[in-house]
Chain A
Amino acid sequence: MDLVGTRRKRNYTTIISNSLKDSYPHNLQMYSFPPGNEIQLSEFEELALERLQLFRTIEYTTQKGLRIYSEEWKECVYGELIKNELKRYLRLAKSTDFENPSDIDLQARRADHISHFILRLAYCRTESLRKWFLARELEWFKLRFLQQSPKSIEKFLKLNNLTYTSISPEEKAKFYSELSDSTANAYAVDQLNFYKVRFTEVPSLIKSRRVFVHKGYAYIPNFELVTCILGIFRSSLNEALVYANRRLPLMDDDRINFLITNLHNIYTGKDYSQNFNSGKVGLTSLDVYARDHFPLCMKYVYGILKSTHHLKHDCRLQLGLFLKGIGLTYEDSMTFWKNEFTKKIDSGKFDKEYAYNIKHMYGLVGQRTSYSAYSCIKIISSNVGVGDHHGCPYKHWDSVILRTKLNELGMTTEAVEDIVNTASKGHYQIACCKHFEYIHGQQNKVAISHPNQYFEESLECSKENKNQKSQDTPKIVKKQKANDTTLEINDIDWNEDI
């Protein structure tokens, strides 16, 4: 990207063309070439904010618990885009074809292109920012790709030099039964075209066992082609982001520095790696807090620790970082873990085997990064094995056990059934949210996306109840304000399962 006023030599090709139609032949782009025209600073800023809003919208819609790319989800995204007056992106999101673009279409494609590159600059700086950005870009890309007509997809592949050759009829005949058993959603193998790609190109299809895999190759049906394209888009963008991060120090321009470094903070949720709350929670009050304000995932693990005086590594991390996030100081944390563990083992063994772990969480040893508390998405997508206790209760527990545990907490049968039902439909965060609402008797419609957020909301609720004041402002707004004062967010754990 060439910014007016910088003298840095460009070392790659840019699109320099006066005809928008030549520059943007298709609605979908791989963003292989940076934009090369001049741009007003005001427009620069506007474009950046618009795209960020677009991404927040997509993320927010998914967090509501709607199944991603489903019809309801799409409708919801469209609705939000209209509400936020993001007309250009609405147009792009709805378009199904590339031919005969109007002027407005072309303007939208241009905005999409330029804003992508601005956000690249803003989001290349840390691993977690890159991850978040990458996840949103992929969602935005897939949303549009799925809308395209077959002809439009063909054109897109051709424009980007992507070719796939299908397997021979002989090979298809040889593996006929394997292909029909192992390909998810394939009802008529005869009518499908299969492509053979290296299994490393389609990790998401391998992961969910949706395709037949043989001798290192995945046999993908034509309707899964999007996964391949996404894989390519993903790895090239990831590479580009790492590259941009290395080059960023060379681009020092006061006019945009502020925007670029602070973009993500403008609308962001809260970061739980910095110990803002440090010292707010003492050891003595921990048991009470656990009883009243911990989400189920933490409450359960906390109980296990109290009763067995031991937790496995992943489990320690889940609880330990959460405790750090709610404001337990390092010293208190060490005392807390030591007290529990030494009921079963001697303190020498604790110092040798576990103390390092606690120090590590607080960034005092090893790589010295202060780790963030796990978000819901990270906990939900974590692997839990035999004998483990961590994870999301709504996802990782049998409904029988979930029901028993909720009953033990003294919830009404009706509430328990509602929560268990929601969880068994796969809406884990909503189930957690319902749990919250039943406890506090409030319908505050705030999506729970982080155990620490749950904790804070819960604390807030009980304070409100005490003061007997009703407060109508939704909490999200308050959060944003609090955040504008934080200058630098280094390590937001938007740890998405992409």
Chain B
Amino acid sequence: MLKTVLENESRQVFAEEQFQQALHIYYEKLYPFKTLFKWLSYGDPLYILKREIAFTTLNDRYIRHKSFQSEEDFQQYIFKKNPAKIDIGAVCHVPPRDYAVVPVCRPIEKELVFDIDINDYNEVRTCCKETDICPKCWKFICLACKILERILIEDFGFKHLLWVFSGRRGVHCWVSDKVARQLSNEERCSILAYINLIKGNTNVQRKVHLPSKPLHSSVQRALEIITKNFIDFIIIEQDILNEDNNGLHKFLKLLWDCRQNEFKQVMSKCKTSIERWNAFVIHLNLLQKSNCLPNKLKYLKEEIMLHYTYPRLDMAVTQSLDHLLKAPFCIHAKTGKVCIPFRVSDMDKFNVIQVPTLSVVLDELNNYYQKQTLNNHFNIYKSDKNFECNHILNTSLCDSYNILLNFVMELEL
């Protein structure tokens, strides 16, 4: 059966039933239960018992308030339900599975989590629209991750960060230090407010407003990171000052009302984005020197750079303990991509288009089996149980799996 499923898949056609079967095989052969379970329990069986796990079934039902005593329970449940998605929730004061008996389930601890989605960059990116993503706009996410990681490590002193691709258009970050897990909602909000510079809804044009005093060291550092990439990435590649893609118009709106026309004249004289940006900077300096710039616009250039590149966080995810977040190594239902962990330091090499999909990894697994059978007459259907994680090493998920493994080992459980 495995074979027929895989053969059909290689044509990239996912009939629903086939997807179901493929998913089941994925869970059975590849999903790293052991490591995931070890991470979520932090060496304490009681901890995982009180941890809420939620599932979305293939027919879109949502099952909440589940918790598991052992890895086997967890595994068996997933084999049985074959869920489309696994969500990780908070550790509660009583095991959530007693929800029917004790319908008050107070969340006590959870990792500090962050979520960055590409569609929050729609107003600044020019290459894609809506929920699409390409290697060009993936760079927004890269830059955001780099800035965020340094804040978390250098300012807050966190050590245990797990970064996961969310399957389609963004990334998640799980901060798993003990201090981070024990943060109250209020403390989470304060960290979020410290990090967040992007403020305002659809009725605000320039989303960044800095106070006119010296810049906070975390903002200075973000600007250092951004400056390295700004010209190449934002000005040249994203071509934000082009008239055709409406970029110049949008850019002018970010400036203050009374000088918009003046800047328009100055910038329209030049042809390319980079010339226009330089013209903007020169003119702005001129205004500054002749004291024509109001004090609250002292950092206008910096504000604009941050507006285009600073991390745009989904705040609801970070704010509260209640929020559930998709587990690593899930399969994204729409794209079929695996939600793989990655390292921010290697992120420039991360190709969002080439993230392995369910069909690809199952193909790889199949190829590996075939080789094995040819070489050793190795019977694949017998010796599976204890080798769950070994299979994953024979697919392109190997590196990502090692990242998860390292992350869990560094927790020193």
A contact residues vs B (CB 8 Å cutoff):
178, 180-182, 184, 199-200, 203-204, 206-209, 212-217, 313-314, 352, 367-368, 383-391, 393, 396-398, 400-402
CA distance A203 to B194 in the complex (A): 9
Measured between beta carbons, the chain B residues less than 8 angstroms from A388 are: 201-202
Do the beta carbons of A199 and B257 come within 8 Å of each other? no
Contacts A199-B156, A213-B155 hold; do A387 and B201 have CB atoms under 8 A apart?
Answer: yes
CA distance A393 to B186 in the complex (A): 24
Identity of the chain B residue whose Cβ is nearest the Cβ of A175 in the assembled complex: B217
Identity of the chain B residue whose Cβ is nearest the Cβ of A404 in the assembled complex: B203
Do the beta carbons of A398 and B203 come within 8 Å of each other? yes
Give which listed residue, B60, B158, B207, B214, contacts A181 with CB less than 8 A.
Answer: B214
Do the beta carbons of B204 and A206 come within 8 Å of each other? no
Contacts A181-B217, A207-B190 hold; do A398 and B202 have CB atoms under 8 A apart?
Answer: no
CA distance A216 to B179 in the complex (A): 9
Known pairs A214-B154, A386-B198, A397-B203. 10 more at Cβ < 8 A? A203-B189, A206-B194, A207-B193, A313-B316, A383-B315, A386-B207, A387-B122, A397-B200, A398-B203, A400-B257
Among B103, B123, B194, B220, the one with the most A-chain Cβ atoms within 10 Å of its Cβ is B194
Identity of the chain B residue whose Cβ is nearest the Cβ of A211 in the assembled complex: B216
Do the beta carbons of B190 and A204 come within 8 Å of each other? yes
B187 lies within 8 A of chain A by Cβ: yes
Residue-by-residue, is B171-197 near A (CB-CB < 8 Å gives 1, otherwise 0)?
A: 000000001000100110111111000
Measured between beta carbons, the chain B residues less than 8 angstroms from A397 are: 200-201, 203-204
Measured between beta carbons, the chain A residues less than 8 angstroms from B104 are: 367
Measured between beta carbons, the chain B residues less than 8 angstroms from A209 are: 193-194, 216, 218-219
B43 lies within 8 A of chain A by Cβ: no
CA distance A171 to B272 in the complex (A): 48
B302 lies within 8 A of chain A by Cβ: no
CA distance A208 to B193 in the complex (A): 7
Residue-by-residue, is B235-253 near A (CB-CB < 8 Å gives 1, otherwise 0)?
A: 0000000000000000000
Measured between beta carbons, the chain B residues less than 8 angstroms from A180 are: 214
Measured between beta carbons, the chain B residues less than 8 angstroms from A391 are: 201
Dominant SS among interface residues on chain A:
mixed
Among B192, B213, B216, the one with the most A-chain Cβ atoms within 10 Å of its Cβ is B216
CA distance A383 to B199 in the complex (A): 8
B314 lies within 8 A of chain A by Cβ: yes
B205 lies within 8 A of chain A by Cβ: yes
Give which listed residue, A182, A396, A402, contacts B217 with CB less than 8 A.
Answer: A182
Residue-by-residue, is B61-91 near A (CB-CB < 8 Å gives 1, otherwise 0)?
A: 0000000000000000000000000000000
CA distance A400 to B253 in the complex (A): 11
A-B contact pairs, 8 of them (CB 8 A): A181-B220, A203-B187, A214-B157, A216-B179, A386-B200, A386-B201, A386-B207, A387-B120
Do the beta carbons of A389 and B316 come within 8 Å of each other? no
Among A204, A206, A352, the one with the most B-chain Cβ atoms within 10 Å of its Cβ is A206
The number of residue pairs between A and B whose CB atoms lie closer than 8 Å in the complex comes to 112
Do the beta carbons of A401 and B183 come within 8 Å of each other? no
B295 to chain A, nearest CB (A): 15
Measured between beta carbons, the chain A residues less than 8 angstroms from B219 are: 209
Measured between beta carbons, the chain A residues less than 8 angstroms from B202 are: 386-389
CA distance A198 to B190 in the complex (A): 13
Measured between beta carbons, the chain B residues less than 8 angstroms from A390 are: 201
B62 to chain A, nearest CB (A): 9
A366 to chain B, nearest CB (A): 9
B166 lies within 8 A of chain A by Cβ: no
Identity of the chain B residue whose Cβ is nearest the Cβ of A405 in the assembled complex: B203
Do the beta carbons of A200 and B200 come within 8 Å of each other? no
B229 to chain A, nearest CB (A): 21
B150 to chain A, nearest CB (A): 12
CA distance A209 to B187 in the complex (A): 13
Measured between beta carbons, the chain A residues less than 8 angstroms from B337 are: none
Give which listed residue, A181, A216, A314, A384, contacts B200 with CB less than 8 A.
Answer: A384
Contacts A203-B187, A208-B193 hold; do A396 and B157 have CB atoms under 8 A apart?
Answer: no
CA distance A144 to B121 in the complex (A): 46
B328 to chain A, nearest CB (A): 25
CA distance A313 to B319 in the complex (A): 15
Residue-by-residue, is B267-288 near A (CB-CB < 8 Å gives 1, otherwise 0)?
A: 0000000000000000000000
Contacts A215-B154, A391-B201 hold; do A200 and B183 have CB atoms under 8 A apart?
Answer: yes
Measured between beta carbons, the chain B residues less than 8 angstroms from A208 are: 193
Contacts of B213-227 to chain A: CB distance below 8 A: 213-220
Measured between beta carbons, the chain B residues less than 8 angstroms from A383 are: 189, 192, 315, 319
Measured between beta carbons, the chain A residues less than 8 angstroms from B123 are: 386
B312 lies within 8 A of chain A by Cβ: yes
Do the beta carbons of A203 and B156 come within 8 Å of each other? no
A288 to chain B, nearest CB (A): 25
Give which listed residue, A217, A389, A402, contacts B201 with CB less than 8 A.
Answer: A389
The 5 closest A-B CB pairs, nearest first, are A216-B157, A203-B190, A215-B157, A207-B190, A207-B193
Measured between beta carbons, the chain B residues less than 8 angstroms from A203 are: 186-187, 189-190
CA distance A387 to B312 in the complex (A): 11
CA distance A206 to B190 in the complex (A): 6
A423 to chain B, nearest CB (A): 12
Measured between beta carbons, the chain A residues less than 8 angstroms from B189 are: 203, 207, 383
Measured between beta carbons, the chain B residues less than 8 angstroms from A352 are: 60
Give which listed residue, A212, A216, A386, A401, contacts B156 with CB less than 8 A.
Answer: A216
Measured between beta carbons, the chain A residues less than 8 angstroms from B122 are: 387
Identity of the chain A residue whose Cβ is nearest the Cβ of B318 in the assembled complex: A383
B123 to chain A, nearest CB (A): 7
CA distance A400 to B157 in the complex (A): 41
CA distance A396 to B199 in the complex (A): 8
Do the beta carbons of A182 and B216 come within 8 Å of each other? yes
A408 to chain B, nearest CB (A): 13
Identity of the chain B residue whose Cβ is nearest the Cβ of A388 in the assembled complex: B201
Identity of the chain B residue whose Cβ is nearest the Cβ of A356 in the assembled complex: B62
Do the beta carbons of A385 and B217 come within 8 Å of each other? no
CA distance A208 to B191 in the complex (A): 10
CA distance A383 to B187 in the complex (A): 15
Do the beta carbons of B201 and A396 come within 8 Å of each other? yes
Do the beta carbons of B204 and A396 come within 8 Å of each other? yes
Residue-by-residue, is B340-364 near A (CB-CB < 8 Å gives 1, otherwise 0)?
A: 0000000000000000000000000
Contacts A391-B201, A396-B201, A396-B204 hold; do A386 and B120 have CB atoms under 8 A apart?
Answer: yes
B381 to chain A, nearest CB (A): 38
Do the beta carbons of B220 and A396 come within 8 Å of each other? no
CA distance A111 to B204 in the complex (A): 50
Do the beta carbons of B194 and A207 come within 8 Å of each other? yes
CA distance A182 to B198 in the complex (A): 19
Do the beta carbons of A398 and B187 come within 8 Å of each other? no
CA distance A106 to B100 in the complex (A): 54
Do the beta carbons of B315 and A385 come within 8 Å of each other? yes
Measured between beta carbons, the chain A residues less than 8 angstroms from B199 are: 384
CA distance A213 to B190 in the complex (A): 13
Do the beta carbons of A367 and B103 come within 8 Å of each other? yes
Measured between beta carbons, the chain A residues less than 8 angstroms from B198 are: 385-386
Contacts A388-B201, A389-B201, A398-B204 hold; do A217 and B217 have CB atoms under 8 A apart?
Answer: no
Contacts of B96-146 to chain A: CB distance below 8 A: 103-104, 119-120, 122-123
B249 to chain A, nearest CB (A): 15
CA distance A393 to B205 in the complex (A): 14
B323 to chain A, nearest CB (A): 11
Do the beta carbons of B200 and A214 come within 8 Å of each other? no
Do the beta carbons of A384 and B201 come within 8 Å of each other? yes
CA distance A398 to B154 in the complex (A): 34
Do the beta carbons of A181 and B156 come within 8 Å of each other? no
A155 to chain B, nearest CB (A): 30
A495 to chain B, nearest CB (A): 12
Identity of the chain A residue whose Cβ is nearest the Cβ of B188 in the assembled complex: A203
B170 to chain A, nearest CB (A): 13
A417 to chain B, nearest CB (A): 15
Measured between beta carbons, the chain A residues less than 8 angstroms from B155 are: 213-215
Identity of the chain B residue whose Cβ is nearest the Cβ of A209 in the assembled complex: B216
Among A204, A208, A213, A396, the one with the most B-chain Cβ atoms within 10 Å of its Cβ is A213
